[in-house]
Structure 1
Amino acid sequence: MGVELEKNNSISKELIDRFSKDFSNNPQQKVMMNAIKKNGINAVAMNQDSPVSMQYTFSQEITTGKITNQKQSGRCWMFAGLNTLRQHVIHTCSLESFELSQNYHMFWDKFEKANYFLESILGTLDEKTDSRLVSWLLNAPVQDGGQWEMFVNLVEKYGVVPKHVMPETFHSSSSRIMNKLLTAKLREGAAKLRAQKASTDKLRLEKEAILGDIYRMLCQFLGEPPAHFDFEYRDKDETYHRDSNLTPKTFFQKYIDINLNDYVSIINAPTDDKPFGRTYTVKYLGNVKGGKDILYLNIEIDELKKLALKQLEDNEPVWFGCDVGQMSDRDTGVMDTALYNYESALDIPLQLTKAERLDYGDSLMTHAMVLTGVNVVDGRPNRWKVENSWGKDPGKDGFFVMSDQWFDEFMYQIVVNKKHLSKELQMSLGQKPIELEPWDPMGSLA
């Protein structure tokens, strides 16, 4: 077998001629070639029946505030988390809409990630710089992405503030250059720490100096976070309210006041290396040192779906992570496995399973949003309402609609209150989690 493979390891002219002849002898393929060249594959492959069938009508819906916009930043996980929390402020204060400051959390997330990165560098001084682990750590130390537990860490340590208290800046909405400069500074810091043969105490003093530079940079990019502020608003009845000298943590306690530790991350990763009913964590994945570690409970997709449905029926939105770029259209907001018929357009099979897509790098969690509705027919959901954070223009006024089949294939994580879990699943949460490598697909950040 090896000898045969070696004999045929190059592309011959005869092979190319055969492929070319096969293509030329199929008139339908040439027609499709011209259509795709002119219009692009998505326009040609789109199944026009899909957007028609994916109505924006749902049997169960939660009233939400106005659609938010993360703009040119990767803060979807943060927007989704704050969009779930703002519902409590809207209800408590009897408001039409309300928005919490995403910039405030962005500042503290970057600062905490910088410390997490530098601590990880100090913990891997015995590793070679070109080792897989150190290379992974150096790749993107302060990227915009995050996970649910990372969001909880920020809220519990720093509280929340209304958006007007720390509004968006140029670089909170367009983060690429800021991230590039912060990363350059942290890589410089890593080089200094790894080059020194100093005591632990001296290394930590050097780390603090690097963090001082990062703090100053973040203040220049994002502004300095407030320690105290006044909260003024008019409710639905136009009654004026003023609450003075609040801290971010007292604001959370007074106007939101939920126990975020009651919420857990449930995933569906149907790969052989991740048995269902087990818990998982990911090495070197986090933001706040001393905060919550990533913790997943892996279950079957039908069970995960039931939990999402229970929480929506309890009139509470569901934070979720998915692979948004798969079989979805930004303009219509449709997320449906039947949206594009690539196989017919290209005359080739595309048959990876969900597990194979994870194992072979074809899919992973890329975006976080919020489920705010569902359409149930004969006891089963057939489509889900999705609150996105891309502004009001995509989809229908900023909302997307997800088919139940899309949920099966590209939904990877939901966050639900533990009260919705069966006793068996609640007991499963108590297991010692299996540690996944940092580059595992379930270590991806939304």
Structure 2
Amino acid sequence: MSESITKELLEQFEKKCSADAACQVAKNAVTENGLKASAKNGEAQRTTRQSFSVKLKQGAVTNQKSSGRCWMFAALNTFRFEIIKKLNLENFELSQSYLFFYDKLEKANFFLESILETLDEPTGGRLIAWLLSSPMNDGGQWDMLCGLVDKYGVVPKYAMPESKSSSASGEMDSVLTVKLREDACRLRSAYAAGAKREELAARKEEMLGEIYRILCICLGEPPKAFDFEVEDKDGKFIRECGLTPKAFYEKYVGLNLNDYISIINAPTADKPYHRSYSVKFLGSVKEGRPVRYLNLEIEELKKAAIAQMKDGVPVWFGCDVGKCSTREGGVMDPKVFKLEELLGVKFGMDKAERLDYGESLMTHAMVFQGVNLDDEGRPNRWRVENSWGEEAGEKGYYVMSDDWFDEYMYQIVVDKKYLSEELLAEYEAEPIMLEPWDPMGSLAVVRG
């Protein structure tokens, strides 16, 4: 056997393809229409219909546009659900730009603190290379969001509306990335030249001041207080003046975020079930709660999500949205494309293998707003509120098959009251620390 692609081997490949009628038909279809369009399975479209035995009512679908704020939109969509319900509103939206501002500032501080913690690491080593690979992006995790809300509260969207840089964050992120990499270079160079830790800490504060200036220019300055004014479905006008963001959250959202925890499904050999996990160098608010997960069997995730929705509360979740899903019609189903039949090849990795070999990880956060249960109480499809506007899916909503849940669902956030005392004890146990580049350290960052 040759190590190279020989002329004889090429001729063998060519002859086999030319003689294969199915290959020729597929070639004509794909070259004309594209791969996914040619492989689309109409039957999957028909069976994942928009009807659910458990269905929650939400306001109008939100739109993150060209930003990676899905995790933030999903969380704020669960918060506004509470406001809409409490105040009998037709619709309401919280400011994503407000938390975006502070997320950027806190991420910059977290990054620079990580640089200060790793000054003795070699610049060419894997850890520093990882830190420098993405010092500023839009992605996040549930626990990171909790740290922001605990510290800064929330505001209505009108109190800090969208800007060009919040809706299309690429240019701003690029500038912030350049600046932070330069800052890291300056801090490490100063340390190598003999600068003391106190001097480096002072320089870090100056660097953060520059980041704050950039954010003010790109996003505007966040409000310290605002007047809350809405009209409910019956025409009743509600006004409260001079609210701070934290006071607004406490009064009108009122969720105790300490009650909400993350459970994941990572069926890889290196992550035993019924253990808690955290990730090194992952976070935003430095003093905020650390990222923590409890790894459980997939059926435990389903059971908790169903219980919470039956009680009328939506569920934040993280998944690999790009796998086996269609934007048109909003179908998430492993059978939505018949690629094996079209291409004549097998795709056989299981969920654990996809995680281990970089083929899948959590990329996007959305909200469960319903589920369909069969006559025996088992789920067969899930109602998904996305944040890509009404053009995606069916007026912004997707349908996820239960098979898709098994394969590409990685994380849900539920009130801990839906877990047994044994499971809660497992969550509270000392977490196993994962390396920063572990797939379970991924951030929900897919753009709209």
Class of the TM-score when normalised by the shorter of the 2 chains? over 0.9
Q: State yes or no: 1:38 paired with 2:32.
A: yes
Match of 2:334 in 1: 337
Q: State yes or no: 1:365 paired with 2:376.
A: no
Which of 22, 27, 34 is the equivalent residue of 1:28?
A: 22
Q: Matches of 2:321 and 2:214 in 1, distance apart?
A: 32
Which of 352, 356, 359 is the equivalent residue of 2:353?
A: 356
- Pairing of 1:307-326 with structure 2 (within 5 A): 307-326=304-323
Report the Cα offset of residue 248 of structure 1: 0.3
Which of 391, 409, 412 is the equivalent residue of 1:411?
A: 409
Q: State yes or no: 1:57 paired with 2:55.
A: no
Q: Matches of 2:86 and 2:29 in 1, distance apart?
A: 55
Match of 1:160 in 2: 154
Match of 2:80 in 1: 86
Q: State yes or no: 1:391 paired with 2:389.
A: yes
Which of 237, 240, 243 is the equivalent residue of 1:243?
A: 240
Which of 288, 292, 295 is the equivalent residue of 2:292?
A: 295
- Pairing of 1:75-114 with structure 2 (within 5 A): 75-114=69-108
The letter of the residue matching 2:434 is L
Which of 89, 107, 110 is the equivalent residue of 1:116?
A: 110
Q: Matches of 2:391 and 2:255 in 1, distance apart?
A: 32
Report the Cα offset of residue 228 of structure 1: 0.9
Identity value in percent:
57
The letter of the residue matching 1:415 is V
Q: Matches of 2:421 and 2:272 in 1, distance apart?
A: 19
Match of 1:420 in 2: 418
CA deviations 1:298-348 (Å, max 9, x no partner) are 000111111111111111100000000000000110001110110000000
- Pairing of 1:149-228 with structure 2 (within 5 A): 149-196=143-190, 197-228=194-225
Report the Cα offset of residue 423 of structure 1: 1.9
The letter of the residue matching 1:417 is D
Q: Where do 5+ consecutive residues of structure 1 fail to align?
A: 1-6
Report the Cα offset of residue 92 of structure 1: 2.0
What stretches of structure 1 move > 4 A for 4+ residues in a row? none
Q: Matches of 1:13 and 1:282 in 2, distance apart?
A: 49
Secondary structure at the residue paired with 1:364?
A: coil
Report the Cα offset of residue 118 of structure 1: 0.2
Which of 137, 145, 157 is the equivalent residue of 1:143?
A: 137
Secondary structure at the residue paired with 2:347?
A: coil
Q: TM-score, normalised by structure 2?
A: 0.97
CA deviations 1:248-301 (Å, max 9, x no partner) are 000011111121010110000000000000000000000010111110000001
Match of 1:4 in 2: none
Secondary structure at the residue paired with 1:338?
A: coil
Report the Cα offset of residue 242 of structure 1: 1.2
Match of 1:263 in 2: 260
Two-structure CA RMSD over aligned residues (Å): 0.8
Q: Matches of 1:200 and 1:386 in 2, distance apart?
A: 48
Q: What count of residue pairs does the alignment treat as equivalent?
A: 440
Report the Cα offset of residue 8 of structure 1: 2.6
Answer with 106-115 or 132-141: which moved more: 132-141
The letter of the residue matching 2:437 is W
Q: Matches of 1:91 and 1:430 in 2, distance apart?
A: 32
Q: Where do 5+ consecutive residues of structure 2 fail to align?
A: none
Q: Matches of 2:424 and 2:117 in 1, distance apart?
A: 33
The letter of the residue matching 2:63 is N
Q: Matches of 2:65 and 2:230 in 1, distance apart?
A: 26
Secondary structure at the residue paired with 2:229?
A: strand
Q: TM-score, normalised by structure 1?
A: 0.98
Which of 436, 441, 444 is the equivalent residue of 1:443?
A: 441
Q: Matches of 1:91 and 1:345 in 2, distance apart?
A: 48
Q: Matches of 1:8 and 1:295 in 2, distance apart?
A: 49
Secondary structure at the residue paired with 1:429?
A: helix
